Structure 1
Amino acid sequence: MSTHTPAHLSPAQAAQVANVSRWTIMRAIKSSHLQAFRDNKNQWKIKDDDLNTWLSTHHAQYAHTVQEEANAYPEHAPAHPDQIAEETLELVRVKAELEAEKTFRATIEADRDHWRDLAKKLAEPRPRKWWFW
């Protein structure tokens, strides 16, 4: 695993991992079935362990999803449903890291363009005044 992976998941990322809707995750948080907390930006964050605990307690509800996925690709089917959750979680982490890198690159490019424009303005010749006061 990479050292730059997020420690916590957003409800949308958790929904992707659990293969449910974001609203299902939010209902589970509101009903206290899924443990979550709010960060400094007042956004919900879910720990990996809490999501795995919630998935294991609600495994019967979502077992058909895991079984359908295993039947769809029998030669690549993992041996255990937890392996599916771990691989999906890793995929979500990698996607989040990629999006963060894209955002960072866009910010750096915008900053570069701003400084380039300033350098062009400074390099333009200015009209000279004929008097010194």
Structure 2
Amino acid sequence: MKFTDDEKKVYREAKKQKIIALRKMLSQMSDDQRQALAEKFGIVTVEGHPLTPYNQCFLVAQAPINFTIIGGFQQWRKSGRMVKKGEHGFLILVPSVPAKVQDVDNYILSNDDDDIKFFAGTVFDITQTEPLNKELQS
């Protein structure tokens, strides 16, 4: 299904407004409230890494489902599962660190902590996936 440029703009603006609203809600929570919420849910990635308290709260604020294990579309494929048709993903904030710039003698020229940027990534809960080869699993 192809979307027109206007439909894409409307979708992007709605997504942006949703992120702004969620960030505002989470920014009003204290660190203790975020930590308590994160400990209650204990959401981890497909690779077994725990999500940050901020991202756990960000997920819980988006949907009433009980998130347990989350991953991106390709992460689920690599782990032998696929996202079910028609499922919609949820947003998390993913850090992006620029590549280290090195000179000839391998001295790092730039890699400050201030260089870390974040972008919105889409993830799915394990309940939104199924085994890649369902017929082989039966």
> Larger relative contact order (C-alpha < 8 A, sep ≥ 6)?
1
The TM-score bracket by the shorter chain reads under 0.3
More strand by share: 2
TM-score by length of 2: 0.26
TM-score by length of 1: 0.27
